[in-house]
A and B are shown apart, each in its own frame.
Chain A
Amino acid sequence: MITLQGVVKRFGSTTALDGIDLTVEAGEVHAFLGPNGAGKTTTLRILLGLLRADAGRASILGHDPWHDAVAIHRRLSYVPGDVSLWPGLSGGEVLELLGRLHGGVNPARRAELIELFDLDPRKRTRTYSKGNRQKVALVAALASDSDVYLLDEPTSGLDPIMEANFRACVHDLRAQGRTILLSSHILSEAEALCDRVSIIKDGRTVESGTLAELRHLTRTSVSARLHRVPAGLQEIPGVHDVTISDGEVQAQVENGAMPAFVSALAEAGVVELQSHPPTLEDLFLQHYART
């Protein structure tokens, strides 16, 4: 549905994208994560044909986003990260306009969404709060019948109730087999909504896969109470940060090192054993931390 191969984008002397790779399959909800300035928005704007890539190949719905922008956009909806609207127009006017420009929307669906997101369409957008401006863009996107949804931090201004409503909408879309690429900083959101995750940093893809696959790549934190303190735990390849005190052992263990580590513990006589699979947050921090 969406593929990027080695896409490079430079702005003058800054390289925003430095050979990014990304694949989003049809019908999948894909989380797009990365620290500030990693290049998420830039990637989405390339996919929209707003920016032209300097190198690499981009394709969306089987088309080149730069050359076939209009054809693609008939089947695509976008929610910008920073929504700016026409100050003198009312929310209702903007929704109607965007709907028509998109090529028609279902008015009943739109009314439903306005209700769901508790939006006053009569207010001028000048008087909207940040969250309400974002809701206008969200309602416009969700009310359209698209195959692909590009959402740039769509919940950054929403309150928790609206965020829950948004999640419900994404679940519906996913049930209908729509494809969603969602950039986010909210890890619980990505964990709750997404099938697959790509993490980018400094304009490069550093990880991509299902959550299970990504977890596989990271360390599990293990803590155990033992009969006696075993020697040489640190020496097992793939075991890190071992601390031993009062017969309690804590360590970070790579998935590959797990059998060796567990058998070493077993030899020492296990009283109690706990292991925590890595959360997305661990994964995130591991990649975000500047090295």
Chain B
Amino acid sequence: MSTTMTQAPTSRGAVGGNALTGTGDLLRFALRRDRVLLTVWVLGLAVMVASSVAATAGLYTSEAARIEASEAINSTAALVALYGKVYVPTSLGALSLIKLTAFGAAIVGIVFVFLIARHTRGEEESGRLELIAAGAVGRAAPLAAALLYASVGALTLGLLTTVGLLVTGLDAPGSVAFGLSWAVSALVFSAATAVAAQLTVSRRVTIGLGLVAVGVAYVLRAVGDLAEGDPGWLSWLSPIGWSQQIRPFAGDRWWVAAISLAAVVVLVPIAFTLRAHRDLGSGLLPDRPGPAVGRIHGITGLAWRLQRGPLIAWTAAVVVMGFVLGSIAQNVSGLLDTEEMREFITMLGGEQALVSAFIAAEVSIFGIMVAGYGISALFRLRQEESSGRLDLLLSTSTHRLRWAWAHAAIALLGVAMLLLLGGAAIALGHLMASGGEDPAVPELVGAAAAHLPAAWVMSGIVILLFGWLPRAMPAAWALFAAFIVLGEFGQLWQLPTWVLDISPCAHSPLLPGQEFTWGPMAALTTVAALLTILGMAGWRRRDVQS
């Protein structure tokens, strides 16, 4: 408030004023608006770190135990691709945080993609920014405020994480290095999202581009990390790789953070330059005129038109990622160069079993990702409703259930298609790279299909919320995040089985490798169907709420 008051007279004098006038007010406003959201995320992530360390510390009390565990991780390609390596096998910090270094940096990246998209394109798209821009606010101020907001968030996250680690008794330099590695991840992906927000015209596409950036960064480092010894050059192209290579508790290489900061220094001016070259509300490219007479013939046609863009993007992402991940599966054997390891592996079922386990882990990650697609596609229902566009549609002879089913069908079938394609892409990537025909394409498509019922349960939960508690739909994302965390850390935290079993993903078999039974598949599918039907029943009888 005071900033505007004191600056207003000066900016009135100079035509156009200061491009940053009002940044402080906007920042305060953004922080106030998100005080709950940001607090929950930052605290949640910090608590997750501290509790993982506390849980692991008890498991590996002796140095020998730590070395054994670290070497087991470092020699398992699936784990290296997923999490990276433990660079100092004796380090308790490095071992207990292995799951949260690269993977954690990716989660942090995703959270900040959502937050920054919301504060840049989201504000603009909703028209709220226009209201603000009309006030004593400089042209660049909203973007500056969003980036400062990201910095405040990143800094708080880094600090709280550091404090959390110190509380568990780990050493100070490592704790600070870990906090730093997360903070720079938050910063890089915030800056990247700020650039993406200037290129597109919708929050959804901005989030999509941001998530693609996170995904690409994650895969690049997965491939790079599989190199023997030090990570390959691909890891050095990845912002997640940069965070990881700070190597908290395993050398604490502070200088690596400079790479991330340099990327931020490059990206931020790009975002501001792009912003300066476009009008409020528009993208960088001018809108092309559309057809004067439409070809959208019905409610299903409209749903498809609205859903096809994201679905095509997801299809491309799943196919490319599947292919890349599939083609690195064969590298498993490259890591097994010691005699003991070979014996150990043979004991576990041979190299083939390891390749299978690696592929099964990839497939299960796809299962989770694609469930996320289902959730985001179903949010269209609520967006159409709250924007008031649904009023217009339902004032025609469109039945409300038909409208809802059109979107639900695309989401549910889209989930199925993406999973099957992902399975096929992994198998093809593996086939091309190794020449080994095992596991074959049909087998992997089947393995991917085994994750379908769990993904549908997630979709069903969204539909249920839409039908009964539409304003609470964002809770579906929180639930989804909770399921992922349960799957990743539940066993480590020694939670009782019934808690672990709450997550639908816990019931999907890891194929190939595990035994397949129809029971859980049938049960999950039934639950998904019930949730969907119940949700639709709620929608049938409730008010249209904007």
From B289, B296, B387, A122 is in contact (CB under 8 Å) with: B289
Q: Is the beta-carbon distance between B395 and A86 smaller than 8 angstroms? A: no
Tell me the smallest distance from the CB of A273 to a CB of chain B, in Å. 52
A89 to B288, CA, bound (A): 11
Does chain A have a CB within 8 A of B13? no
Does chain A have a CB within 8 A of B299? yes
Q: Is the beta-carbon distance between B287 and A93 smaller than 8 angstroms? A: no
Total chain A interface residues with beta-carbon distance under 8 A: 43
Q: Is the beta-carbon distance between A92 and B292 smaller than 8 angstroms? A: yes
Q: Is the beta-carbon distance between B295 and A96 smaller than 8 angstroms? A: yes
Does chain A have a CB within 8 A of B515? no
A71 to B397, CA, bound (A): 7
Please give, as numbers and ranges, the residues of chain A lying within 8 Å of B305 by CB-CB distance: 89
A122 to B389, CA, bound (A): 20
A89 to B393, CA, bound (A): 14
Tell me the smallest distance from the CB of A106 to a CB of chain B, in Å. 14
Q: Is the beta-carbon distance between A73 and B544 smaller than 8 angstroms? A: no
Please give, as numbers and ranges, the residues of chain B lying within 8 Å of A52 by CB-CB distance: 541-543
From A49, A97, A126, B294 is in contact (CB under 8 Å) with: A97
From A50, A121, A126, B293 is in contact (CB under 8 Å) with: A121
A124 to B399, CA, bound (A): 26
Q: Is the beta-carbon distance between A101 and B299 smaller than 8 angstroms? A: yes
Does chain A have a CB within 8 A of B484? no
A121 to B396, CA, bound (A): 20
From A74, A86, A100, B389 is in contact (CB under 8 Å) with: A86
Q: Is the beta-carbon distance between A86 and B544 smaller than 8 angstroms? A: no
Tell me the smallest distance from the CB of B309 to a CB of chain A, in Å. 8
Does chain A have a CB within 8 A of B290? yes
Chief secondary structure at chain A's binding surface: mixed
What does the 1/0 interface line of B395-408 toward A look like (CB < 8 Å)? 11111100000000
Please give, as numbers and ranges, the residues of chain B lying within 8 Å of A126 by CB-CB distance: 201, 281, 287
Chief secondary structure at chain B's binding surface: loop
Does chain A have a CB within 8 A of B392? yes
From A74, A87, A90, A97, B292 is in contact (CB under 8 Å) with: A90
Please give, as numbers and ranges, the residues of chain A lying within 8 Å of B287 by CB-CB distance: 123-124, 126-127
Please give, as numbers and ranges, the residues of chain B lying within 8 Å of A83 by CB-CB distance: 388, 392
A57 to B264, CA, bound (A): 62
A70 and B399 in contact, given A52-B541, A95-B294, A123-B290 (Cβ under 8 angstroms): yes
Tell me the smallest distance from the CB of B321 to a CB of chain A, in Å. 27
Closest chain A residue to B392 by CB distance? A80
Please give, as numbers and ranges, the residues of chain A lying within 8 Å of B289 by CB-CB distance: 90, 122-124
Q: Is the beta-carbon distance between A102 and B294 smaller than 8 angstroms? A: no
A residues lining the B interface (CB < 8 Å) = 45, 48-52, 69-71, 73-74, 76-78, 80, 82-87, 89-98, 100-103, 121-124, 126-127, 137, 150
B residues lining the A interface (CB < 8 Å) = 125, 201-202, 281, 287-299, 301-302, 305-306, 387-389, 391-400, 541-544
18 example contacts (A-B, Cβ-Cβ < 8 A) are as follows A48-B394, A50-B544, A52-B543, A69-B399, A69-B400, A70-B398, A71-B397, A80-B388, A82-B388, A83-B392, A86-B389, A87-B202, A91-B290, A93-B293, A93-B296, A96-B295, A102-B396, A123-B287
